[in-house]
């Protein structure tokens, strides 16, 4: 009787072992009916494990590249922040210079006569004080030609 007990245990272990192979087969290919051939199931398991190892390796490489890119982008962001601060400081300095230049007019850049509205006023130029500087720029209907004989020289 002792012998039959061992046989029962071996049979139970074999059934349990077969059930585990069936479970493995259903995990490897859930849409198909489970296979019963143990070497085929082991081949499928090896194929899936190798495929998963390859994917894991690719994902690690991609992760490493992304981490390096993040590091590079952070460094670039910090450089841009520093440049922005420098530009902002330069802008403030220039604005301050413009305010100080506007407050004190420089005589080297301004005409002699200066109105309150900061428009230069020039006296009459030319040989004829009562004649506009460039009368030919006026349209013909507005030109005064009544005194041309007096104002023009005889040689002309």
User: 3-state SS string over 18-55?
Assistant: HHHHHHHHHHHCCCCCCCCCHHHHHHHHHHHHHHHHHH
Indicate if the alpha-carbon torsion angle 122, 126, 130, 131 is positive or negative. negative
Looking at the chain, the whole-number percentage of residues with pLDDT higher than 90 is 34
pTM of full prediction above 0.75: no
User: Nearest 5°: phi and psi at 104?
Assistant: -120, 105
pLDDT at 117 over 60: no
Looking at the chain, the whole-number percentage of residues with pLDDT higher than 70 is 65
Higher pLDDT pick, 37 / 135: 37
Q: Where residue 30 falls among pLDDT bands split at 50, 70, 90?
A: confident
Q: Is 25 exposed, middle or buried (0-12, 13-18, 19+ CB in 10 A)?
A: buried
pLDDT number for residue 33 = 80
The mean pLDDT value of the chain amounts to: 79
Q: Where residue 1 falls among pLDDT bands split at 50, 70, 90?
A: very low
**Number of helical (H) and strand (E) elements in the chain, helices listed first:** 3, 0
Mean pLDDT of 94-116: 68
Mean pLDDT of 39-57: 93
pLDDT number for residue 34 = 77
């Amino acid at each position: 009787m002792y012998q039959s007990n061992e046989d029962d245990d071996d049979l139970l272990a074999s059934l349990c072992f077969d059930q585990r192979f069936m479970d493995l087969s259903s995990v490897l290919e859930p849409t198909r009916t489970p296979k019963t051939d143990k070497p085929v199931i082991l081949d499928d398991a090896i194929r899936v494990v190798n495929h998963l190892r390859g994917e894991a390796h690719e994902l690690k490489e991609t992760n490493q590249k992304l981490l390096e890119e993040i590091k590079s982008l952070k460094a670039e962001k910090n450089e841009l922040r520093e440049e922005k601060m420098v530009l902002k400081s330069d802008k403030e300095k220039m604005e301050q210079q413009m305010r100080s230049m506007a407050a004190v007019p420089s005589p080297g850049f301004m005409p002699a006569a200066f109105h309150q509205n900061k428009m230069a006023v020039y006296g009459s130029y030319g040989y004829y004080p009562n004649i506009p500087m460039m009368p030919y720029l006026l349209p013909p209907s507005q030109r005064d030609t009544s005194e041309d004989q007096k104002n023009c020289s005889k040689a002309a």
